[in-house]
């Protein structure tokens, strides 16, 4: 009975070791270890790299947007009920916010800082902030 138990335990251990060895030896077509993707979208390598790299969109360009920079500025100024000649320190740049391509439009008027995120495909204002400038 004791011999049967040892034999069964040895078989189970060999089976487990062989399954682990087959999984560790997985490689892609060019022979390098296969990458694994976690549910959060972070890519890790099988080479025990301790620094995961998040997958993120590349830097956007104006050709990625249906709404032009000038139109995004117009939308922000219309919402603020201001004219371009009245504002200062105007900035507008493309960026991703929560996976959505937006124009970030910022400007100052009198003692206030205005900030808008405008969906670069629909023109909808998805964020608006007006803060009193304490300078």
Residues 118 and 98 in one domain: yes
Residues 66 and 46 in one domain: no
Residues 70 and 47 in one domain: no
Please state the domain count of the chain: 2
Entry pTM: 0.56
Show Cβ contacts of residue 27 under 8 Å, excluding neighbours closer than 6 positions: 33, 34
Judging by beta carbons within 10 Å of its beta carbon (0-12, 13-18, 19+), is residue 7 exposed, middle or buried? exposed
Under a CB-based contact definition with an 8 Å cutoff, are residues 73 and 127 in contact? no
Residues 47 and 66 in one domain: no
3-class secondary structure, 44:
strand
Residue 36, pLDDT above cutoff 90: no
The domain of 125 spans 62-132
Residues 78 and 123 in one domain: yes
Residues 77-128: tens digit of each pLDDT: 999 999 999 999 999 999 999 999 999 999 999 999 999 999 999 999 999 9
Residues 83 and 124 in one domain: yes
Give the side-chain half-sphere CA count within 13 A for 7. Answer: 4
Stated as kind and residue range, the H or E segment containing 84 is none
């Amino acid at each position: 009975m004791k011999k049967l138990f040892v034999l069964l335990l040895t078989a189970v251990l060999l089976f487990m070791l062989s399954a682990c060895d087959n999984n560790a030896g997985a490689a892609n077509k060019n022979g390098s270890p296969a990458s694994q993707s976690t549910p959060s979208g972070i890519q890790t390598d099988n080479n025990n790299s301790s620094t995961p790299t998040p997958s993120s969109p590349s830097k956007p360009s104006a050709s990625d947007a249906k709404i032009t920079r000038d139109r995004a500025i117009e939308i922000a100024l219309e919402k603020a009920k201001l004219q371009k000649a009245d504002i200062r320190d105007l900035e507008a740049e493309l960026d991703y916010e929560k996976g959505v391509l937006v124009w970030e439009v910022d400007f100052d008027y009198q003692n206030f800082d205005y900030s808008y995120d405008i969906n670069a495909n629909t023109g909808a204002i998805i964020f608006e902030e007006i803060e009193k400038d304490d300078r």
